[in-house]
A = this chain, B = another copy of it.
Amino acid sequence: MSPLQLFKCLAEDTRLKILLLLSEHGELCVCELTCVLELSQPKVSRHLAELRKCALLADERRGKWVYYRLNDTLADWARELLALTAARNPDLLAPLYQNLQRMHDKPQSLCSQPASEESS
């Protein structure tokens, strides 16, 4: 993973938010991301596909849902860079966490979702 390739992935609003979210939150399925980001499903899915092709993300199907997380092979400096960016720019993620919270409080309010075990 070259720095240039990483920065190209981070240079788009949707992909940036996805990567920072997954850096902090660990794992989310596509429908959760779609709801949290308030974007169309094809748009989210297309960006996820790109991040998958760059080996930044790994996906895992569990039943109907496909969960995405940072790829285990991702270099440490890239992980540190994502963590640094997320920690130092809380304003960027705050509204997204609000959406995630609202979604788990009122499941039908925004979109469907998988059964939530517990929020980490």
Q: Residues of A with Cβ closer than 8 Å to B?
A: 2-4, 7-8, 10-13, 16, 20, 75-77, 80-81, 84-85, 88-89, 92
Most chain B beta-carbon neighbours within 10 Å: one of A2, A3, A8, A75: A3
Give me 11 A-to-B residue pairs in the complex whose CB atoms sit less than 8 angstroms apart, sorted by A's number. Answer: A2-B89, A3-B20, A3-B85, A3-B92, A7-B7, A7-B16, A8-B11, A11-B11, A75-B88, A76-B88, A77-B88
Given A3-B10, A8-B11, 11 more A-B residue pairs with CB atoms under 8 Å apart are A2-B92, A3-B16, A3-B20, A3-B89, A4-B11, A4-B13, A7-B7, A10-B10, A75-B88, A77-B88, A77-B89
